[in-house]
Structure 1
Amino acid sequence: MKIELTNEATQRIQGKIDNQTGYLKLKYDTEGCGCVVSGIPTLWFVHEPEEGEDITIETNSYPILVEKSKMVFLDEDLKIDFSSQSNTFQLKSPGQIINGRMNFLMFPGE
């Protein structure tokens, strides 16, 4: 899997995490979706990886954690961008926009 972050996305992430310690994670969120196939990719900033579940993908900017068991639902080549128009992150692949309004959550579940 290859993940690229645009310059705009990298700058927005830096502004949000503001030198806090943690990990950027591309979470395939299925809570409230009813079915694992209906998940929604979101960006999370977490304290630590989930042992035995998260793998690290090196990018052109930040390393990103991805759930090994959910990689099947993601395309092989991904790009994380930021839309100034909608003020949201976007997850794209060469063939589609996977999530045009991707949330960024700081330390979810706390």
Structure 2
Amino acid sequence: MTVTITKNAAAKLNKIIGDQKGYLKIQNVTEGLACGAGVPTLFFVSSIDETKVVLFETNNLPVVLEKSELIFFDDELKIDYSDSMNSFQLKSPQQIINGRMSFII
């Protein structure tokens, strides 16, 4: 699996995060959902449990995904930012996985 961050997303992330050290984490949030499938959400976390996640080096910040959730994502992921929607997006070559992805610090 590969994860890339577009220039637009990197600029927005760096503006929000500033000098803080940490990782981006993509996680399926299931709380409050009846279907249980989950909504991909972007988090900024200061530490990780290396036994439970897989670390992906990117062209910007490192990104982690829970090992148990890898099956839900395509082999190529791209984190983008849409100025017109004022929102992060998670994409793959096959689909837009989440066109309005929340970012939680």
Q: TM-score range by the shorter chain?
A: over 0.9
Question: How far apart, in 2, do the equivalents of 1:22 and 1:60 lie?
Answer: 15
- Tell me which stretches of 4 or more aligned residues in structure 1 moved more than 3 Å: none
TM-score by length of 1: 0.89
Instruction: Look up the match of 2:69.
Output: 70
Secondary structure of the residue that 2:77 maps to in structure 1? strand
Instruction: Look up the match of 2:17.
Output: 17
Q: CA RMSD in A?
A: 1.2
Instruction: Look up the match of 2:48.
Output: 49
Q: Cα offset for 1:48?
A: 0.8
Question: How far apart, in 1, do the equivalents of 2:18 and 2:60 lie?
Answer: 15
Classify 1:68/1:10 alpha carbon distance in 2 versus 1 (closer, same or farther; 3 Å).
Answer: same
1:47-85 C-alpha deviation (Å, 9 max, x unpaired) = 211342111011122110110100100111111100000
Question: How far apart, in 1, do the equivalents of 2:61 and 2:21 lie?
Answer: 13
Classify 1:32/1:50 alpha carbon distance in 2 versus 1 (closer, same or farther; 3 Å).
Answer: farther
Q: Cα offset for 1:2?
A: 0.6
Instruction: Look up the match of 1:34.
Output: 34
Gapped regions of structure 2 (runs ≥ 5): none
Instruction: Look up the match of 1:84.
Output: 83
Q: How many residues align?
A: 105
TM-score by length of 2: 0.93
Which residue identity does 1:16 align to in structure 2?
I
Classify 1:61/1:21 alpha carbon distance in 2 versus 1 (closer, same or farther; 3 Å).
Answer: closer
